[in-house]
Amino acid sequence: MSAEKAPLPFGYTFMAGAIAGVSEILVMYPLDVVKTRVQLQTGKAAAGADTYNGMLDCFSKIIKNEGFSRLYRGITAPILMEAPKRATKFAANDKWGKFYRDLFGATQMTQGLSVLTGASAGATESFVVVPFELVKIRLQDKASAGRYNGMIDVVMKTVKNEGILAMYNGLESTLWRHILWNAGYFGCIFQVRQLMPKAETKQAQMTNDIIAGSVGGTIGTLLNTPMDVVKSRIQNTIKVAGQTPKYNWAWPAVATVAKEEGAAALYKGFIPKVLRLGPGGGILLVVYTGVMDFFRDMRDAKTAGL
């Protein structure tokens, strides 16, 4: 991602993004389950065994009532999704960055180009992830235990009952979610790297990447959580012919949640989400940068005839 390093072929960028994505999801997935559970909970009040009063209450109730393994329910879809998702994110970011530098005649990235590039990469990424996200959301819902028997069952029942296009329910809200997160993430990475001392060692580079990626992940989460809330609800809604879903389009759904539950409801699940995607953003950047450096070392050794 650095302009000072010789570029690698697209395939290496794709592979590095895939490895980074799977590494992040294995570490952070339970927080994603908790985030989704809290977001799917409607209404202002929460009491009783089947409702959650925040992140820690959700964690404890899932473990107590459903078992620890429930925190990893639905992980197959994200694991299958993370490789193409993160690979697409970083590969598209590199490609869009080159496109915009050529378009505007810029020799290096700027803050504005980083934001524009990140937003474009997020939009590209969205088309890859929507079906996987829909499967994940429906499996993470508490009610799914009696409704679906795993990932394949979700796909089969969704297609059978709602049509093949139902696998892309929530595409619009997913576009907004990923555009906002990636714009904030890559824009912040650029700015934080500019502000930090130049790394002279691998350890210093890792520290810089942890800080830049964590800041970027946090800002991206602040920007996109309202869209994530409505996306979860849109994708968890089973469409019935002749009926207009309560949560259908992104911005009207935002207005509905704010009106019925208050503006704060648009940030339901924010704490587990930011705890995942703040440090998770750092993990992504560190692993991605490390794998890309490994590929560069391999290329340079081969070129040198070693």
Distance of alpha carbon 170 from its chain centroid, rounded?
14
Q: Could you state, in order of their start, the residue ranges of all structural domains in the chain?
A: 10-304
Name 153's Cβ contacts closer than 8 Å, sequence gap at least 6.
none
Round to whole Å and give the CA distance between 246 and 285: 38
**Which one is predicted more confidently, 301 or 216?**
216
In this prediction, residues 145-161 reach a mean pLDDT of 87
Rg of the chain in Å (alpha carbons): 20
DSSP conformational letter for 262:
-
Q: Which string of DSSP letters, residue by residue, matches 28-50?
A: HHHHHHHHHHHHH--SS---STT
| Nearest in space to 276 (alpha carbons), one of 200, 181, 207, 197 | 181
Residue 231: band (very low, low, confident or very high) from pLDDT cuts 50, 70, 90:
very high
- Cα four-point dihedral sign 44, 49, 50, 52: positive
pLDDT of residue 280: 81
Name 261's Cβ contacts closer than 8 Å, sequence gap at least 6.
42, 43, 44
Residues 107-119: tens digit of each pLDDT = 888 989 999 999 9
Angle of CA points 37, 38, 43, to nearest 5°: 120
Helix locations, 41-169, DSSP H: 55-66, 76-104, 111-140, 151-162
Model confidence at 164: pLDDT above 80: yes
Residue 128: band (very low, low, confident or very high) from pLDDT cuts 50, 70, 90:
confident
Residue 31: band (very low, low, confident or very high) from pLDDT cuts 50, 70, 90:
confident
Residues 93-107: tens digit of each pLDDT = 889 999 999 999 998
Round to whole Å and give the CA distance between 62 and 49: 10
- CA-CA distances (angstroms) from residue 155 to 51, 159, 161, 168? 27, 6, 10, 11
Whether residue 17 contacts residue 288, with contact meaning beta carbons closer than 8 Å, is answered with yes
Residues 130-141: tens digit of each pLDDT = 998 888 888 888
Round to whole Å and give the CA distance between 212 and 189: 5
DSSP conformational letter for 163:
-
**Which one is predicted more confidently, 279 or 221?**
221
Helix (H) or strand (E) holding 141, with range, is: none
Whether residue 154 contacts residue 136, with contact meaning beta carbons closer than 8 Å, is answered with no
Round to whole Å and give the CA distance between 137 and 233: 9
In this structure, how many other beta carbons lie within 10 angstroms of the beta carbon of residue 106? 13
pLDDT of residue 37: 87
Please, what CATH class does the domain formed by 10-304 belong to? mainly alpha
DSSP conformational letter for 68:
G
Whole-number percent of the chain with pLDDT over 70? 94
Residue 45: band (very low, low, confident or very high) from pLDDT cuts 50, 70, 90:
very low
